[in-house]
Amino acid sequence: MSTLRNTFSACASAGRSAFIPYITAGDPSLQDTATFVRTLAAAGADILELGVPFSDPIADGPVNQQAAERALAAGTTLQGILNLVRDLRAEGMTLPIILFTYLNPVLRMGLDSFAAQAVAAGVTGLLVVDLPPEAAGPYGAVMAHHGLETVFLVSPTSPPERLKAAAQASTGFVYVVSRTGVTGEQVALADSLPQEIARLRTYIDAPLAVGFGISTPEQAHAVAQLADGVVVGSALVRTIAAGPDLATTQKNLEQQARALQSATQKG
């Protein structure tokens, strides 16, 4: 069984949904990102999503777009992020780490070269936001060859054919977009989410992690009753952006993450 699926299985055995925080790598610096990764791991994260900043995001809302802009202005590169993961692994970090990226930076490095370097650095898997599963055959083959796990997105508008393709292409888990639109906090979850998760499970046997718009412990708890994983991104990225200094940010991030992690208990 894959590392990611083992993680979901362990969480299910513990009676909870997996807590999957997302932060943008390099915001405000890669050194600070390393501190935040350690903080999230200590706060109980089960899987970490590290966003690769990209100049032309299409799935990110204002909070994550601005984080990507700050990271790029700080000189963050894909190679630098791989080096960051390598350093964290050298410290003994065992938390599964997924890179959340667009396809362009990966192709720029070269798919095979990227995969080889990612595995050597200790990356667990990859979610390429703008790569549809129907077009992912060559990509999936390279990932499998190097032992990288794959995650694909589905949404409320995904037809059955797309759901089946995503299920087949995802060796780690399937990321469920909780609504139409981009990333960002929302006041309330969609009323249709229970029915949507039920629909997805008729086509997908892989673990389902729900993201896009989950920001509070109450929302995380509601999603945990339905899904195998809860992804929280923009709310954490906003905390990082608020500062005002590293020590304060670290403290606020840890408190926020612990509250979210506690809310993923089922029942």
46, 60, 185, 228: the active-site residue: 60
Report the distance separating Cα 205 and Cα 167, nearest Å: 7
Which residues are 152's β-sheet partners? 174
Neighbours of 143 (CB within 10 A): 24
Identity of the residue numbered 41: A
Q: Both tokens of residue 20? A: 């999957």
- 156-234-78 Cα angle (round to 5): 100
Indicate if 218 belongs to the active site: no
Report the distance separating Cα 207 and Cα 139, nearest Å: 21
Indicate if 49 belongs to the active site: yes
Which residue from 227, 222, 232, 156 is spatially nearest to 188, judged by alpha carbons? 222
Report the distance separating Cα 42 and Cα 37, nearest Å: 9
Neighbours of 190 (CB within 10 A): 14
- If 0-12 CB within 10 Å is exposed, 13-18 middle and 19+ buried, where does residue 161 land? exposed
27, 46, 49, 149: the active-site residue: 49
Residues tagged active-site: 49, 60
